[in-house]
């Protein structure tokens, strides 16, 4: 009995070993991206810190950097991204129709979206929460003081449902006024149409600093009424592209953890003896072949946009226009929630 089954087991073990080491086959999205020469990235119409164009049409932000990092990893050039502005109503249909390769537009990961839209959420790139912006002259210190207030927000978002649930649970009557576009909703608020405006706290900070007639005339109330984990999405059915869209952001997070930066990546590539750093700069174990990429995929991504901490500081951190603290978006090893599976 023993000798009879030994060859079968040996063959099975050999097949497993081959499967574990086999390179990934390029998926249809990766093939299309390579053939086209650009990554089509769905973004917002303009949310400071996440995805917004300047007066010359140059896009910047945390979500923008995610797509640039993927373009650097896949195409070798972070500039090879076509940014496609989408409002809340357009974003999911655009991804379903194949008009974009990835949706990197501050979208909250929820069960309903995860289970019903035909998408895969990739890596959480920002932990947000819904808050309220009010005129300072109202002298409010809590959202619970908004009884009978009119609150502006955008339709088709989790914000609309969250605000309804929150005040119903608090038994506080309010009137919610919804607008189809984000711009219309915040402009209505700043024009005096509503006593409060609600959306993700990061967006409130950006609006107050960039859109308010006088930022000092407005205050963000302390309550966060929801969990808003924001993550890029890709279509289901293309596991190879899903893996790339997931592991490029993970590599940027791990780069921060192991001290690999945009500035020192070249030096570490030449001199580092640390296996974790070597894997990230392309001199250690070749993990790129498992993603259908070359050995330098993560090195190029880091060189293009920096590690996750550098992306955060540049786009939304204390030295940016938004001036947001790291808070929950700090590394897990520093008291935050940002945690990437090991790149090994």
Tens-digit pLDDT profile for residues 151-193 = 999 988 889 999 999 999 999 999 999 998 888 999 999 999 9
pLDDT one-digit tens code per residue, 22-39: 444 557 999 999 999 999
Which region, left, alpha or beta, applies to residue 101 given φ > 0 means left and ψ of -120 to 50 means alpha? alpha
Instruction: Supply the Cα-derived Rg of the chain in whole angstroms.
Output: 23
Tens digits of residue pLDDT in 77-130: 999 999 999 988 899 999 999 999 999 988 999 999 999 999 999 999 999 999
CB 18 within 8 A of CB 90: no
Local confidence band at 48 (pLDDT 50, 70, 90 cut-offs): confident
User: Which residue ranges form the domains of the chain, and what is each CATH number?
Assistant: 28-125+231-322 (3.40.190.10), 128-227 (3.40.190.10)
Query: What local confidence, expressed as pLDDT, does residue 203 receive?
Result: 87
pTM of the model: 0.83
Tokens of 81: 């991204």
Closest CA to 62 of 319, 337, 331, 310: 310
């Amino acid at each position: 009995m023993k000798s009879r089954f030994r060859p079968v087991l040996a063959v099975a073990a050999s097949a497993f070993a081959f499967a574990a080491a086999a390179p990934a086959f390029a998926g249809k999205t990766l093939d299309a991206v390579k053939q086209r020469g650009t990554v089509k990235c769905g973004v917002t119409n303009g949310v400071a810190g996440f995805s917004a164009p300047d007066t010359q049409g140059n896009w910047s932000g945390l979500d923008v950097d995610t797509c640039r990092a993927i373009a650097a990893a896949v195409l070798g050039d972070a500039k090879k991204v076509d940014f496609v502005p989408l409002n809340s109503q357009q974003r999911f249909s655009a991804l379903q129709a194949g008009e974009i390769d990835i949706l990197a537009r501050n979208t909250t990961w929820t069960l309903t979206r995860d289970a019903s839209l035909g998408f895969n959420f990739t890596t959480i790139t920002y932990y947000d929460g819904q808050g309220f912006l009010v005129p300072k002259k109202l002298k409010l210190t809590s959202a619970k003081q908004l009884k009978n207030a009119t609150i502006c927000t955008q339709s088709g978002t989790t914000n609309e449902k969250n605000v309804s649930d929150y005040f119903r649970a608090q038994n506080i009557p309010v009137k919610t006024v919804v607008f189809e576009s984000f711009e219309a909703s915040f402009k209505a608020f700043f024009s005096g149409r509503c006593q409060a405006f609600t959306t993700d706290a990061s967006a409130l900070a950006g609006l107050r600093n960039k859109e308010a007639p006088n930022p000092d005339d407005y205050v963000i109330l302390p309550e966060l009424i929801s969990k808003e984990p924001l993550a890029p999405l890709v279509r289901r059915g293309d596991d190879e592209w899903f893996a790339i869209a997931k592991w490029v952001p993970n590599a940027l997070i791990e780069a921060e953890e192991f001290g690999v930066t945009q500035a020192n990546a070249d030096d570490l590539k030449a001199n580092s003896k640390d296996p974790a750093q070597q894997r990230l700069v392309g001199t250690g174990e070749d993990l790129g072949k498992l993603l259908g990429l070359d050995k330098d995929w993560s090195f190029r991504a880091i060189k293009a946009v920096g590690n996750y901490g550098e992306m955060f500081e540049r786009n939304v951190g204390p030295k940016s226009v938004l001036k947001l603290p790291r808070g929950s978006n700090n590394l897990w090893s520093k008291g935050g929630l940002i945690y990437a599976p090991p790149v090994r």
